Chain A
């Protein structure tokens, strides 16, 4: 089967993957892509999908770029060449938080298999974020993540999903609900809970 570029905003392709997370390579950093805490998905040919949250965006070290930085003044053509044309991928690390079955049901636990290398990674639409955010089971996965900055990620992801809910009242309602779920999950860690709630409030 021939794989085509997805019609949603393509972030890049999977470079390496495990069940709990994967790394995507993308060619350039644009103003709104990729963004920390954004929900992304990898779709399979059977219409199932794996969902994840961006927790780290890394620009690889490159001797050529280093030399240009040392050179000082750069014309815009050179900057654009480095950003758009050179094969220095931006690495995006994603924490897997759930998936979608071929019939369209969303689940919030680890999928049975990691995504295949070179699969397209796309940024979810607001509608997809809203649908995914209807359940909050994914919060436990994020809070337990060993490699990701879990507290920052939970707050950033909730802010985004809350903003996708609609008007400000719906956003506030969503955040209050999520806050209650966090209070339940972190009942023994009040200081941590307080830190996350403050971060969530920052953008509410």
Chain B
């Protein structure tokens, strides 16, 4: 139990600390914005610096600008031709050694909304249940599937679901390529790779994630990854390098001397007007190099999806897309206009809110699933035992 009365003093202290932090961040952000204006021109020297930064530190997570200036801004039109929006999101039950069986579940929620049709969207969920150990129905490269592996499988299924639905939508349009089909993923398009993966394993994961992107391209759809409240700082790291003399770019300096540590790109660009986006950048990372080699380098921009002006009302999103979308400005603009219109209701894509709702596995549903498992195991005469810890939790913490 949480004795709230013992926390009142600590809560006040935390609030004071947050207020101080906020002031300090504000000052540093203003400084970063001034630097951005000053160092905005993308010169040959800057490109040289970026190449050097990548060379001295392969894991440097900076940004490669696609445009000619770092402070470019584009206004997305408030109205656009109706598009078909496809969204997906996933949830999971991680393997739990205290549960009755070592299993895991991924559940993908999808929604297809045809703007301007007046029809209810198509919605669906696709749950998949697997054993986390020696599953005869699944290829497993580890002895036991852990939480990171479950996340990777869930993310892949989300992207595959988008690709399958985009193909179906395009088919149902009878080959009409003019209708814009936007496939919106919840989160980044670049997978987060667990540290333990070997190079061949990473290569396999990259191939798995690239396949649906290629499918989406074949369906003439626009895949976008939507990251709400992004905490990434790729552009700030780029700014750090831009301010350094060439000879000062060393691994140590990149890792320890960043004056923007603790700031985020979202704060840097928070002064975007409603519907404005930044220029385009490509994240620099080994994984993205692999994606680039397969023709699917992932680029991004930041966008304020709010409709009300004033900086404090800004709702910042990082929007990721493959380079072939980034290099098609008209289609990108139309896709962002469609996403922005979907954000009008919630300052966040309605589509993703619904996909999340569809995917979500509630505590009660999880309990019901485990009851089904228990029954089927009993039918087969299998012995099962929940750990004493799980049992205890059930009667002391079933809230």
B197 on the interface (CB 8 Å rule)? Answer: no
Q: Are B345 and A77 in contact (CB under 8 A)?
A: no
Which A residues lie within 8 Å of B353 (CB)?
64
A76 nearest CB across to chain B (Å): 4
Q: Known A64-B353, A64-B357, A85-B121; judge A77-B115 contact (CB<8 A).
A: yes
A4 on the interface (CB 8 Å rule)? Answer: no
B354 on the interface (CB 8 Å rule)? Answer: yes
Which B residues lie within 8 Å of A84 (CB)?
120
Q: Are B123 and A77 in contact (CB under 8 A)?
A: no
User: Considering residues A67, A77, A84, which has the most beta carbons from chain B within 10 angstroms of its beta carbon?
Assistant: A77
- Interchain CB contact (< 8 A) of B120 among A64, A71, A74, A77: A77
A105 on the interface (CB 8 Å rule)? Answer: no
Q: Are A85 and B123 in contact (CB under 8 A)?
A: yes
State the majority secondary structure of interface residues on B. Answer: loop
Number of interface residues of A (CB under 8 A): 16
A-B contacts, 22 listed (Cβ < 8 Å): A67-B345, A67-B346, A68-B345, A68-B346, A73-B344, A74-B345, A75-B115, A77-B115, A77-B117, A77-B119, A77-B120, A78-B345, A80-B120, A81-B111, A81-B113, A81-B120, A81-B354, A83-B120, A85-B121, A85-B123, A85-B354, A86-B354
CA A84 – CA B111 in complex, angstroms?
13
Which B residues lie within 8 Å of A71 (CB)?
344-346
CA A64 – CA B350 in complex, angstroms?
10
Which A residues lie within 8 Å of B114 (CB)?
77
Which B residues lie within 8 Å of A67 (CB)?
345-346
CA A86 – CA B120 in complex, angstroms?
10
CA A80 – CA B350 in complex, angstroms?
13
B398 on the interface (CB 8 Å rule)? Answer: no
Binding site for B on A (CB under 8 A): 64, 67-68, 71, 73-78, 80-81, 83-86
B118 on the interface (CB 8 Å rule)? Answer: yes
Q: Known A83-B120, A85-B120, A85-B121; judge A77-B113 contact (CB<8 A).
A: yes
Binding site for A on B (CB under 8 A): 111, 113-121, 123, 344-346, 350, 353-354, 357
CA A73 – CA B113 in complex, angstroms?
17
B83 nearest CB across to chain A (Å): 12
Q: Which 9 A-B pairs have the closest CB atoms?
A: A80-B120, A76-B118, A84-B120, A71-B345, A85-B123, A81-B121, A81-B120, A77-B113, A85-B120
CA A78 – CA B345 in complex, angstroms?
10
CA A80 – CA B346 in complex, angstroms?
17
Which A residues lie within 8 Å of B346 (CB)?
67-68, 71
Q: Are B357 and A80 in contact (CB under 8 A)?
A: no
Which A residues lie within 8 Å of B119 (CB)?
76-77, 80
User: Considering residues A64, A84, A85, which has the most beta carbons from chain B within 10 angstroms of its beta carbon?
Assistant: A85
Residue of A nearest to B117 (CB): A77
Q: Are A77 and B118 in contact (CB under 8 A)?
A: yes
A80 nearest CB across to chain B (Å): 4
Residue of A nearest to B346 (CB): A67
Given contact pairs A64-B353, A77-B116, enumerate 7 new A-B contacts (beta carbons under 8 Å).
Answer: A67-B346, A74-B345, A80-B118, A80-B119, A85-B120, A85-B354, A86-B357
B156 nearest CB across to chain A (Å): 26
CA A77 – CA B292 in complex, angstroms?
37
B112 nearest CB across to chain A (Å): 10
Which B residues lie within 8 Å of A81 (CB)?
111, 113, 120-121, 123, 354
Which A residues lie within 8 Å of B123 (CB)?
81, 85
Residue of A nearest to B122 (CB): A85
Which A residues lie within 8 Å of B121 (CB)?
77, 80-81, 85
Which B residues lie within 8 Å of A64 (CB)?
353, 357
CA A77 – CA B341 in complex, angstroms?
13
CA A89 – CA B231 in complex, angstroms?
38
- Interchain CB contact (< 8 A) of B350 among A76, A78, A85: A78
Residue of B nearest to A68 (CB): B345
Which A residues lie within 8 Å of B345 (CB)?
67-68, 71, 74, 78
CA A129 – CA B346 in complex, angstroms?
46
Which B residues lie within 8 Å of A76 (CB)?
118-119
Residue of A nearest to B347 (CB): A71
Which B residues lie within 8 Å of A85 (CB)?
120-121, 123, 354
A187 nearest CB across to chain B (Å): 52
Which A residues lie within 8 Å of B117 (CB)?
77
Which B residues lie within 8 Å of A78 (CB)?
345, 350
B275 nearest CB across to chain A (Å): 17
